[in-house]
Amino acid sequence: MPYAYLNPEFDGHELEAVFFNKKVNKSAIIAIHRKIQGRTIGGFRIYPYPTFHAARTDVLRLSAGMTRKAVMANLPVGGAKGVLIANPDCDKNEALYQFIAECINALGGQYVTAEDAGFHYPDAFEVAKYTRHIAGLANNIDEMPFPDLSNISDLTSQMTALGVFEGIRVCLRRVFGCNSCEGRSFAVQGLGKTGYPIARFIHQAGGRLVIADIDQEKTKRASAEFGGSCSVVSIEEIFASHVDVFVPCSLGGITIAEAQYRIVAGSANNALLSMEDGDALHQKGILYAPDYIINSGGLRKVYFETLNGGYNHGALLHTIFEEIPKALETIFDHSEKKNLPAHRTAEKIYQEKLAALN
Ligand code: NAD
């Protein structure tokens, strides 16, 4: 049996490349899931994976998710991802940025990278000194919904957050008959580049927040800003929150057993670890917004940057406001009609769209 098949997340990926750099003593993996029109886009994640196997599992899942995201957003580009086994809080330096660029350059332009968890706008800016195969650099503060968050959240992530918020409103309407956040409660897990702006959208729309993050500076900042309509809980307690909506915005893999919400909808890639987890949510009557549809705002933005005509913010906003809600409505309509859980409906439509491309 080929080695690749030994990891259950292997999905016929076109290429996996493993890199090691002696100078920084770090390893990275880039996985290309599918090339469409000869190219792929997908972020680069920096995370202190406990084992190489864990990193490989993550990159295989994330890259397959990127193809799903692009195909469902009708973007003519395939999915890929990079992961670097390192601590994003203390391992970053010039040599590390050079190493990341070397990995990307080794693929000769088939893979265009962007930000992800642990790899933020200032990092992308540093890596861009050594590679041109990087997007996410268009970061005009005036175009941000929340310019004052520019020290913790870039334009790409705020576009992801905007799409997630619009998607949450679709879910609220499906479940409660009204898309208002007033009087509703939301558990936001992770207050990073996407989670913080999502929490602020919810707060501004009148929602009550329960928040958790491993970084206490972030929960302190959020608690000070959102005041009495926000409570902070531990990263374990957040799963058992009695809220209307669970909003996963960290590294995915939500704990289903404790789920007692009506909706799960957030920015996290791989929010579900398995199709069976999605079935369990469905059986509990919880509406799940497929991650690769609701969180596609950032990919849409990065894709717009790579177009010949250059970045057009107005056109991007149009696709976020129009296409993300429409895509979710389509999935939920089909799901209801066929009594097939939303995540399985999304997978079925993705497979059909992918087959039509081949
Ligand atoms: P980030 O690194 O900026 O934020 C992640 C946050 O989660 C951090 O504040 C971190 O401290 C916190 N965290 C980590 N483990 C946690 C835990 N166990 N419990 C609670 N909090 C925890 O990353 P991000 O860019 O906001 O990405 C978050 C998720 O959204 C990731 O899954 C990413 O792949 C996905 N995503 C991001 C974008 C984007 O535009 N940035 C686009 C699509 C999807």
pLDDT of residue 308: 65
- E-strand ranges in 118-207 read 185-189
User: Which residue spans of the chain are classified as CATH 3.40.50.10860?
Assistant: 3-127
* Nearest-atom index, ligand 1, CA of 88: 2
Q: What is the pLDDT of residues 257-311, one digit of tens each?
A: 788 899 999 999 999 989 999 999 999 999 999 999 999 999 999 999 887 677 8
CA 4 – ligand 1 centroid, Å = 28
Task: Give the residue whose CA is nearest to atom 34 of ligand 1.
Answer: 269
Find out whether 156 and 117 touch, Cβ atoms under 8 Å: no
Residue 353's pLDDT band, with cuts at 50, 70 and 90, is very high
Pick the closest to residue 32 from 20, 44, 40 (CA basis).
40
Task: Give the residue whose CA is nearest to atom 8 of ligand 1.
Answer: 192
Q: Which residue has the tokens 């799963």?
A: 239
User: Which residue spans of the chain are classified as CATH 3.40.50.720?
Assistant: 142-357
CA 117 – ligand 1 centroid, Å = 5
CA 334 – ligand 1 centroid, Å = 30
Tokens found for residue 227? 């005041």
pLDDT of residue 17: 97
* In the predicted structure, residue 4 carries a pLDDT above the cut 70: no
Find all residues with CB under 8 Å of 101, minimum gap 6, and list them: 127, 129, 130, 131
Architecture of domain 142-357: 3-Layer(aba) Sandwich (3.40)
CA 1 – ligand 1 centroid, Å = 35
Which entry of 23, 35, 69, 81 is annotated as an active-site residue?
A: 81
Phi, psi of 69 (to 5 degrees): -65, -45
Tokens found for residue 150? 């520019």
What average pLDDT does the chain have?
Answer: 95
Pick the closest to residue 201 from 220, 184, 214, 177 (CA basis).
184
Residue 1's pLDDT band, with cuts at 50, 70 and 90, is low
* Nearest-atom index, ligand 1, CA of 301: 40
**What predicted TM-score, i.e. pTM, was given to this entire model?**
0.95
Phi, psi of 115 (to 5 degrees): -80, 160
Find out whether 40 and 66 touch, Cβ atoms under 8 Å: yes
Q: What is the pLDDT of residues 56-112, one digit of tens each?
A: 999 999 999 999 999 999 999 999 999 999 999 999 999 999 999 999 999 999 999
* Nearest-atom index, ligand 1, CA of 118: 2
Find out whether 266 and 244 touch, Cβ atoms under 8 Å: no
What percent of the chain has a predicted confidence (pLDDT) above 70?
98
Find out whether 340 and 347 touch, Cβ atoms under 8 Å: no
Q: What is the pLDDT of residues 168-177, one digit of tens each?
A: 999 999 999 9
Task: Give the residue whose CA is nearest to atom 4 of ligand 1.
Answer: 192
What percent of the chain has a predicted confidence (pLDDT) above 90?
90
* Nearest-atom index, ligand 1, CA of 252: 32
Q: Count the neighbouring beta carbons within 10 Å of the beta carbon of residue 280.
A: 17
Instruction: Please confirm, yes or no, whether 81 is among the known catalytic residues.
Output: yes
Pick the closest to residue 41 from 133, 151, 178 (CA basis).
133
* In the predicted structure, residue 243 carries a pLDDT above the cut 60: yes
pLDDT of residue 3: 64
CA 308 – ligand 1 centroid, Å = 30
Q: What does DSSP assign to residue 3?
A: G
pLDDT of residue 6: 78
Task: Give the residue whose CA is nearest to atom 41 of ligand 1.
Answer: 157
Q: Report the alpha-carbon distance of residue 242 to residue 264 in Å, rounded.
A: 13
Task: Give residues (CB < 6 A) around ligand 1.
Answer: 115-118, 156-157, 160, 189-195, 212-215, 218, 235, 249-252, 267-269, 295, 298
Q: What is the pLDDT of residues 320-338, one digit of tens each?
A: 999 999 999 999 999 999 9
Q: Report the alpha-carbon distance of residue 228 to residue 239 in Å, rounded.
A: 21
Residue 256's pLDDT band, with cuts at 50, 70 and 90, is confident
Domain 3-127: state its class.
alpha beta
